[in-house]
Amino acid sequence: MEQPDLSLEIAASAQGYLRIAGVDEVGRGPLAGPVTAAAVILNPEDIPEGLNDSKKLSARKRAQVEAAILERTTWAIAHASVEEIDSHNILRASHLAMERAVAALDPQPDFLLIDGNLIPRGLSLPAQAVVKGDGRSLSIAAASIIAKEARDRIMVDLAQQFPGYGWDKNAGYPSKQHRDALVKLGVTPHHRRSFKPVHKILYQE
């Protein structure tokens, strides 16, 4: 099993870059809730242990690693709202969240490693798109972990305001409970109206 490492960060430092940020987003697939992005600049002298693609960590392990990332790195988290997802599209909204996370980093990075195959158009810094980056770069893996934890917490909060959809467990993804609740309970203000299963319920003949 491939483990993320620092080879992409080391290659960028070899070109003279000093502050290399990994950028990732989470929440493109759910039917509800914002899309969340994070940007993380690791300190090469003090890498938190256990960094990996957030999808490969147990919830407990992810929470432990998240605490270490927040304590020992330079990081920022940002979101794009359901309204933005519906008015642009999910790809553009996830790029907006990434752009905001990068803009919020202080000090600003001078090079970006972006998860995926596209570089958001609003980013003017030198950047490299890294397919499956959270499994290749430790900086992107760190961003994936704190983005996921931040978004999951939002969905747990929303689950208390809108019970029945199971958002505390499914984080807004289209689980069976969530799809059944959409039919029974209808669409909330936090549902993405541009997503097919939601759109169908809103505009049933």
Spatial distance between the Cα atoms of 132 and 23, rounded to a whole number of angstroms? 12
Q: Is the residue at 22 inside a domain? A: yes
Q: Is the residue at 204 inside a domain? A: no
Ranges of residues in the chain with a pLDDT under 70 are 1, 205
Residues 6+ apart with CB under 8 A from 67: none
Counting beta carbons within 10 angstroms of the beta carbon of residue 104, is it exposed (0 to 12), middle (13 to 18) or buried (19 or more)?
A: middle
Block residue for tokens 């502050």? 19
CATH code of the domain covering residue 61: 3.30.420.10
Q: Is the residue at 174 inside a domain? A: no
User: How many domains would you assign to the chain?
Assistant: 1
**Per-residue model confidence (pLDDT) at position 205:** 45
Give the angle subtended at the CA of 2 by the CAs of 21 and 71, to the nearest 5°: 40
Block residue for tokens 């203000």? 189
At 163, the amino acid letter reads P
At 3, the amino acid letter reads Q
Spatial distance between the Cα atoms of 24 and 61, rounded to a whole number of angstroms? 19
Q: Is the residue at 62 inside a domain? A: yes
Q: Is the residue at 27 inside a domain? A: yes
**Per-residue model confidence (pLDDT) at position 76:** 98
Which token pair is 84?
């933005």
Q: Is the residue at 142 inside a domain? A: yes
CA distances from 136 to 11, 52, 115, 142, 203 (A): 13, 9, 9, 11, 42
Give the range of the structural domain holding residue 105, as residue numbers without chain letter: 7-162
Q: Is the residue at 177 inside a domain? A: no
pLDDT tens-digit series, residues 113-157: 999 999 999 999 999 999 999 999 999 999 999 999 999 999 999
Q: Is the residue at 47 inside a domain? A: yes
Q: What is the DSSP letter of 189?
A: T
Q: How many CB atoms lie within 10 A of CB 53?
A: 20
